[in-house]
Every structure is written in C-alpha cells, then in structure tokens.
C-alpha cells in the first residue's frame, strides 16, 4: 500500500509525554520494590518478528573507510557478516551484536565521532585492555571505577574515525586496588559513567501483571508536514500503580 513520504521530521508530543513519565519513575523509585510498583507495560507491545538473518544493526559513515575496516577486522578481530568495497557489517564470533560502517559519499557528511559510542561488557576488563594495548591500541581512558567504591569499571579508546569504544566490566575491589597500587597511584578514580547498574536491568516478570498505559489517540497523522506549534503543550502522562485487588 502506497504511503506518502514525510519530508519534515516531526516529533509527536505524545512521545515526549511518555518519555517524561518513564523518566519520572526513574527519579521517584528508590528501591526495587518501588520500581516494580511504579513501572507499567508499554502502551503498545513489541512489534517486530525476527527473520532468519541478523536481527539488529546500527550504521555510521566514515571519512576513511579502509582505516575503519582494517581496525575492526585485523586489530579487533571482528568477523564480518557482510562485506563489499562500500559496506562492512561486523559481528562477534557468536553473533551477539551487529554494526555497520559505510564510506561517506561526495556531498555527504560523515557521522560526528561523539554522536555515538560502541560499548562492550567484558568478563575481564583489565586483561582485555592489556591485550588491546599490546595490539597497538591507545586507551584514551584506562579502566577505572565509575565512582568511588564501585565495582563497575569503564575504559575507552577510539576507532580511526574517532568513535569511542567503551569497555565495561565488573571488578573485585581488592583486585582493582592492587592494580592501582602497582602504579603508585592512590587517587580516587574519575567519575565518568553510570554509578550502578540500572534497576531496569533486573526487572522481574511481575511487571506483566501491571496495567498498560492508555494508548488512545497516540497515533498522529505523520503525513502532516506543518511545523509543530511551539505553544503546543505536551500531554502529561502519569503512571499510577493499580494493584491486583483494585484492578
């Protein structure tokens, strides 16, 4: 069925209202129990049914395609899922992730280096960082705790295009102290990332019992190319907990 293409990017204010309500939950919840009480199912269910091939991929454009390709294939050792002179899709040996790189065509602009970050959660962050350093990779930030006393560590380096590649890892605090003392450094680590793993990473299946938020009037006519009215106010959405007794 034919659909007219949208020439102007328009943000449906309903999207922002939903997002603000979700962020409000993150600000209000001070425990896992409160998180479970406040969190609601999405207004709409997950819409994608996967095919037989790759399931997700992000792509960015570079100015030096050969350098980016050589870095990922021969230095980081990433397998390719697809490759030709103008396209490279990388993955892991077991296909846990996918991302692609393409050369910037004449008249186009490459992806700004600080617009995205590639992040890997690894088993042994110090061993991984040492191995990458042995391969000639220079770390812009050697792995350190995200905050004082945290067991969550992060370090990062950059691709030839300048894209940050973050290494995340959990470190036993005694081990990290030994690593720091061996360098004669006892200063507090720089705070550069999340303080703790997000509560949402450990949400239980009990959320499925919650009532979904209302989705009436969410779909807006996206073929309307008129600019958004600056005076238009976002619709406030508040997620109210509905207990099973009151449902």
In 3D, which of 49, 40, 17 has the Cα closest to residue 203? Answer: 40
Q: β-strands 87-91, 80-84: how paired?
A: antiparallel
Please tell me the distance from the alpha carbon of residue 220 to that of residue 81, in angstroms, as a whole number: 37
Give me 55's structure tokens: 């399931």
180: pLDDT confidence band, cut at 50, 70 and 90?
low
Kindly tell me if the per-residue pLDDT of 236 is higher than 70.
Answer: no
Q: What is the pLDDT of residues 49-81, one digit of tens each?
A: 999 989 999 999 999 999 999 999 999 999 999
Mean pLDDT of 211-217: 49
- Run of H or E including 177: helix 173-182
Q: What is the pLDDT of residues 32-46, one digit of tens each?
A: 999 999 999 999 999
- Run of H or E including 126: helix 125-134
The whole-chain average pLDDT of the chain stands at 80
Structure pTM?
Answer: 0.70
Task: Give backbone dihedrals phi and psi of 152, rounded to 5 degrees, phi first.
Answer: -95, 115
Task: Give backbone dihedrals phi and psi of 160, rounded to 5 degrees, phi first.
Answer: -55, -30
Please tell me the distance from the alpha carbon of residue 169 to that of residue 155, in angstroms, as a whole number: 9
90 or 241: which carries more pLDDT confidence? 90
Kindly tell me if the per-residue pLDDT of 163 is higher than 60.
Answer: yes
Task: Give backbone dihedrals phi and psi of 88, rounded to 5 degrees, phi first.
Answer: -140, 125
Mean pLDDT of 86-102: 97
Domains and CATH numbers, the chain: 7-43 (no CATH), 52-111 (3.30.720.120), 113-211 (3.30.720.110)
Residue 177 confidence (pLDDT): 56
């Amino acid at each position: 069925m034919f659909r007219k293409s949208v020439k102007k990017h328009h943000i449906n204010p309903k999207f922002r209202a939903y997002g603000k309500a979700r962020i409000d939950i993150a600000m209000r919840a001070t425990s896992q129990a409160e998180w479970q009480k406040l969190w609601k199912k999405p207004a709409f269910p997950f819409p994608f049914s996967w095919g037989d091939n790759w399931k997700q991929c992000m792509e960015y454009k570079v100015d030096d395609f050969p350098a980016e390709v050589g870095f990922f294939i021969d230095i980081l050792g990433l397998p390719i899922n697809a490759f030709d002179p103008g396209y490279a899709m990388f993955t892991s040996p077991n296909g846990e992730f996918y991302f692609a790189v393409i050369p910037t065509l004449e008249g186009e602009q490459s992806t700004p280096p600080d617009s995205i970050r590639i992040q890997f959660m690894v088993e042994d962050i110090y061993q991984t960082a040492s191995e990458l350093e042995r391969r000639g990779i220079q770390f812009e930030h050697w792995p350190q705790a995200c905050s004082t006393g945290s067991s969550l560590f992060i370090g990062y380096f950059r691709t030839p295009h300048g894209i940050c590649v973050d290494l995340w890892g959990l470190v036993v605090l005694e081990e990290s102290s030994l690593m720091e003392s061996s360098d004669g450094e006892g200063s507090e680590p720089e705070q550069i990332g999340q303080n703790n793993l997000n509560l949402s990473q450990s949400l239980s299946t009990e959320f499925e019992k919650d009532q979904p938020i209302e989705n009436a009037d969410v779909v807006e006519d996206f073929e309307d190319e008129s600019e958004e009215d600056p005076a238009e106010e976002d619709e406030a959405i508040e997620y109210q907990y509905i207990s099973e007794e009151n449902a």
